[in-house]
């Protein structure tokens, strides 16, 4: 009887496992193999085993690229969550008839292509048709100027695209929050701001950590926004992978960076699961 009951379970698990093996494990194996291959001057690579591509990570130039990419993604993730958390908390305190159109608007933003978002921010931060012209009109600036390409343009773009995802991740946790918790804190003499940071934030720490890692991984894998809004020193690892693979014809090093990116993402996901499991 037990064999019959477990057979459908194995059958249902077979196809997802097969898809995972074909769509993830096989490409990852090919990528890892290329990352240790020998690069041919003027060509691509030849089979072999060398860690030269990985050793380039510790060089000052590429080490600085990795550090800046990780720092940029972390900063964008922190800003996205810092904006999304109070926004989502206030949204969950509103009547349902007001929440629904706002959530629909966020879903509409998620449906936008990154190409549209990138060129929209590029126009918004430009000198000819950007927001600086509005600041000139109201007297905040003397003349219009361009803010792209630049570091702040990249951070703004990454924060913008991460914000709807962060809101959607935080919404279930904050919508289930007991409304009596902040009321009890205020009854005990805490100000609304203190109740928010000392009661609401600690209760939702699991959702905050998960949201931070999600936004970080999403920003780290962004390609179009850093390439459109930033200079080469502001590029994420994904842009450098494309540059090495297509323009530099260095597939081993591009594969090594892709392996590093994937391992970083998997490590963060594993950390999240372990953290949430220990805090449960």
The yes-or-no verdict on residue 277 having pLDDT over 80 is no
Q: How many domains is the chain partitioned into structurally?
A: 1
Q: Is residue 139 part of a domain?
A: yes
- Record the tokens describing residue 202, joined without a space: 């600690």
pLDDT of residue 48: 81
Q: Is residue 59 part of a domain?
A: no
CA angle, corner 65, sides to 61 and 66, nearest 5? 120
Instruction: List CB contacts of 177: < 8 A, sequence separation 6 or more.
Output: 92, 200, 203, 204
**H or E, element range at 46:** strand 45-46
Domain limits for position 238: 66-279
Q: Residue length, the chain?
A: 280
What's the pTM value of the predicted model, to 2 decimals?
Answer: 0.80
pLDDT of residue 4: 53
For residues 115 and 228, what is the distance between their CA atoms, to the nearest angstrom?
A: 9
Assign residue 70 the CATH number of its domain: 1.10.3720.10
Helices 151-175 and 96-110 pack at an angle, to 10 degrees, of 140
Over the chain, what is the mean pLDDT?
81
Q: Is residue 150 part of a domain?
A: yes
Q: Is residue 80 part of a domain?
A: yes
Chain centroid offset of residue 231 CA = 19
pLDDT in tens, 223-232: 888 888 888 8
- Record the tokens describing residue 226, joined without a space: 């850093």
Q: Is residue 11 part of a domain?
A: no
Q: Is residue 228 part of a domain?
A: yes
**Under a CB-based contact definition with an 8 Å cutoff, are residues 210 and 169 in contact?**
yes
144: nearest Cα among 122, 124, 128, 123: 128
The yes-or-no verdict on residue 10 having pLDDT over 70 is no
pLDDT in tens, 184-207: 777 777 777 877 787 888 888 888
Q: Which residue has the higher pLDDT, 2 or 37?
A: 37
Q: Is residue 204 part of a domain?
A: yes
């Amino acid at each position: 009887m037990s064999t019959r009951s477990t057979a459908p379970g194995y059958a249902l698990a077979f196809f997802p496992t097969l898809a995972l093996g074909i769509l993830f494990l096989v490409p990852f194996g090919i990528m890892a193999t290329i990352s240790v291959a020998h690069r041919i001057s003027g060509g691509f690579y030849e089979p072999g085993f060398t860690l030269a591509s990985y050793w380039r990570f510790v060089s000052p130039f590429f080490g600085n690229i990795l550090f800046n990419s990780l720092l940029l993604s972390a900063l964008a993730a922190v800003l996205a969550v810092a904006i999304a958390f109070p926004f989502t908390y206030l949204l969950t305190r509103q009547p349902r008839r007001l929440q629904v159109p706002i959530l629909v608007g966020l879903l509409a933003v998620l449906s936008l292509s990154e190409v549209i978002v990138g060129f929209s921010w590029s126009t918004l931060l430009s000198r000819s048709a950007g927001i600086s012209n509005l600041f000139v009109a109201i007297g905040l600036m003397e003349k219009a100027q361009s803010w792209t390409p630049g570091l702040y343009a990249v951070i703004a773009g990454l924060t913008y695209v991460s914000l709807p995802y962060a809101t959607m991740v935080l919404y279930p946790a904050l919508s289930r929050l007991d409304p009596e918790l902040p009321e009890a804190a205020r009854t005990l003499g805490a100000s609304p701001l203190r109740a928010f940071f000392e009661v609401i934030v600690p209760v939702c720490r699991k959702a905050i950590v998960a949201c931070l890692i999600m936004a970080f991984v999403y920003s780290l894998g962004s390609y179009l926004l850093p390439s459109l809004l930033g200079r080469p020193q502001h590029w994420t690892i994904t842009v450098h992978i494309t540059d090495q693979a297509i323009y530099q014809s260095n597939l081993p090093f591009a594969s090594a960076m892709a392996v590093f990116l994937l391992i970083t993402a998997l490590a963060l996901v594993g950390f999240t699961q372990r953290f949430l499991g220990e805090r449960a």
